[in-house]
C-alpha cells in the first residue's frame, strides 16, 4: 500500500450481539451519534463461553465498529445501554496502519459537526 499512514488514534471495536435487531439498533445509534464512522454486521458467529459456571454455545452476530480512541468511552456507554446482555462483549484494539484516505474519513465521521 503506497497511500497508508500510521494511526495511533483509530480503533476497531468488537461487539457481539444476540440478534439482528440488537445489532442494527446499536450500529445505527453509534453512527448517528458520531461515536463510530462505520459498523459492519457479520452474521454466522457461534460463541462458546462459560457463564455462571456453565458452558454456553450461542449463535451471535459480530459488530466491527471503526472509531477513534477518544470515542471509546461514549461508545461503551451506548452499547451497554442498548445491549440486552448483563455483560456485553466489547473489545477495542488499535488500528496500526490503514489507507490514509479511509483513516481521514474515519476521523471526520467521528467528530460531531
**Mean of the pLDDT values across residues 96-104?**
91
Q: How far apart, in Å, are the Cα atoms of 74 and each of 14, 34, 63?
A: 15, 10, 16
Q: Residue 103 is part of which domain span?
A: 4-109
- The stretch 19-34 carries a mean pLDDT of 98
Number of structural domains the chain divides into: 1
Report whether 3 contacts 105 (CB < 8 A).
no
| Tens-digit pLDDT profile for residues 44-91 | 999 999 999 999 999 999 999 999 999 999 999 999 999 999 999 999
Q: Report whether pLDDT(27) > 60.
A: yes
Q: Which CATH number does the domain housing residue 12 bear?
A: 3.30.70.120
Amino acid at each position: 500500500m503506497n497511500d497508508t499512514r500510521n494511526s495511533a488514534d483509530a480503533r476497531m471495536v468488537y461487539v457481539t450481539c444476540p440478534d439482528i435487531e440488537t445489532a442494527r439498533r446499536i450500529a445505527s445509534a453509534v453512527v448517528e451519534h458520531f461515536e463510530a464512522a462505520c459498523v459492519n454486521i457479520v452474521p454466522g458467529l457461534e460463541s462458546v463461553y462459560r457463564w455462571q459456571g456453565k458452558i454456553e454455545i450461542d449463535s451471535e452476530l459480530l459488530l466491527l465498529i471503526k472509531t477513534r480512541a477518544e470515542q471509546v468511552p461514549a461508545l461503551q456507554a451506548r452499547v451497554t445501554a442498548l445491549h440486552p446482555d448483563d455483560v456485553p462483549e466489547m473489545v477495542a484494539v488499535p488500528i496500526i496502519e490503514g489507507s490514509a484516505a479511509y483513516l481521514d474519513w474515519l476521523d471526520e465521521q467521528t467528530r460531531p459537526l
